[in-house]
Amino acid sequence: MVADAIKELPREHDILLYFEQPCLSYEACLAVRRHTDLPFVLDECMDSLAAVLRAHHDGPWT
């Protein structure tokens, strides 16, 4: 799943404004994020204050 999401990352940054949650889990999204500097929008995996605080700590996402 992570490898598939990484393959789908655009090669040109002007094609995409942001990459919306490419995987179901936060951990998988974080793994994809480490392969690009494109901005990310996390959605469904941000289901608690703890998840938001963890994402803030692990950022930047944009």
Residues 48-62: tens digit of each pLDDT: 999 999 999 998 876
Q: What is the pTM of this model?
A: 0.73
- What's the pLDDT score for residue 11? 65
Residue 26 · residue 55 · CB < 8 Å? yes
Q: Which pLDDT band holds residue 44 (cuts at 50, 70, 90)?
A: very high
Q: C-alpha distances in angstroms, 22 versus 9, 15, 26, 28?
A: 9, 16, 10, 8
Q: Residue 30 is part of which domain span?
A: 2-58
Greatest Cα pair distance in the chain: 34
- What's the pLDDT score for residue 59? 81
Q: Is the pLDDT of residue 17 over 80?
A: no
Total domain count, the chain:
1
